[in-house]
Structure 1
Amino acid sequence: MAEFGREDLRGSTFDRTDLSGSTFRAASLSNVTIRGTDLHHVKMTGVELWDVDISGEVRGLRINGVDVTAYVGEELARREPDLARMRPDDPDGFVEAWDLLEQLWDGTVERARLLDPAQLHEQVDGEWSFIETLRHLSFATASWVHCAIGGDPAPWHPLDLPWDEAPDDQGLPRDRTARPSLDEVLELRRARQADVRRVLEGLTEESLAADTTPPDGAGWPPPRPFAVKECLSIVLNEEWWHRTYAERDLAILERRPQ
Structure 2
Amino acid sequence: MRDLRHQDLRGADFRESDLTGARFMGVIMQDVEIDGLIGNIVINGVEVTSYVEAELDRRHPVRLLLRSDVPADLQEAHRQLRRDWASTIDRLATMAPGVEHERVAEEWSATETLRHLVFVHDSWFRRCCLGSTALFTPLGLGPDFVPDQERQGLDRSAAPPLTEVLQVREEQGAELSRWLQEVTPEQLAKPAPVPEGPGWPPYAAGRSVLECLRVVLNEEWAHHQFCVRDLDLLATAGGATEDEPS
Same fold (TM over 0.5): yes
TM bracket (short chain): 0.7 to 0.9
Deviation readout 1:42-100 (Å, 9 max, x if unpaired) = 22223222221001121000012210111111221222233322222211111111111
| Aligned residue type for 1:58 | I
CA positional deviation for 1:179:
2.9
Tell me, yes or no, if structure 1 residue 203 matches structure 2 residue 183.
yes
- Identify the match of residue 216 of structure 2 among 214, 235, 242: 235
CA positional deviation for 1:228:
0.8
- Identify the match of residue 51 of structure 2 among 66, 71, 91: 71
- Distance across 1 between alignment mates of 2:171 and 2:155: 20
- Distance across 2 between alignment mates of 1:154 and 1:27: 50
SS at match of 1:37: coil
RMSD: 1.9
Give the TM-score taking structure 1 as reference length: 0.84
Which residue number corresponds to residue 161 of structure 1? 141
Tell me, yes or no, if structure 1 residue 212 matches structure 2 residue 171.
no
The answer to whether the 8 A contact 2:146-2:200 is kept is: no
The answer to whether the 8 A contact 1:148-1:213 is kept is: yes
SS at match of 2:37: coil
- Distance across 2 between alignment mates of 1:218 and 1:51: 43
Q: 1:219 to 1:28 in 2, by over 3 A?
A: farther
List alignment gaps of at least 5 residues for structure 2. 241-246
- Distance across 2 between alignment mates of 1:218 and 1:100: 34
List alignment gaps of at least 5 residues for structure 1. 1-20
SS at match of 2:16: coil
- Distance across 1 between alignment mates of 2:207 and 2:20: 22
Which residue number corresponds to residue 107 of structure 2? 127
| Aligned residue type for 2:206 | P
The answer to whether the 8 A contact 2:139-2:159 is kept is: no
- Distance across 1 between alignment mates of 2:155 and 2:26: 41
Taking only the aligned residue pairs, the percentage that are identical comes to 39
CA positional deviation for 1:145:
0.7
SS at match of 2:98: helix
Tell me, yes or no, if structure 1 residue 90 matches structure 2 residue 53.
no
- Identify the match of residue 206 of structure 2 among 210, 225, 232: 225
The answer to whether the 8 A contact 1:60-1:69 is kept is: yes
User: Bigger shift: 224-233 or 35-44?
Assistant: 35-44
- Distance across 1 between alignment mates of 2:131 and 2:61: 35
- Distance across 2 between alignment mates of 1:200 and 1:109: 23
**Number of aligned residues:** 236
Deviation readout 1:209-241 (Å, 9 max, x if unpaired) = 111132123421115221111111111111111
- Distance across 2 between alignment mates of 1:220 and 1:143: 6
Give the TM-score taking structure 2 as reference length: 0.88
The answer to whether the 8 A contact 1:121-1:129 is kept is: yes
Q: 1:184 to 1:249 in 2, by over 3 A?
A: same
The answer to whether the 8 A contact 2:116-2:142 is kept is: yes
- Distance across 2 between alignment mates of 1:47 and 1:167: 35
| Aligned residue type for 1:162 | G
Which residue number corresponds to residue 15 of structure 1? none
- Distance across 1 between alignment mates of 2:117 and 2:148: 21
The answer to whether the 8 A contact 2:191-2:209 is kept is: yes
Deviation readout 1:157-196 (Å, 9 max, x if unpaired) = 11111124x2334545362x53321111111111111221
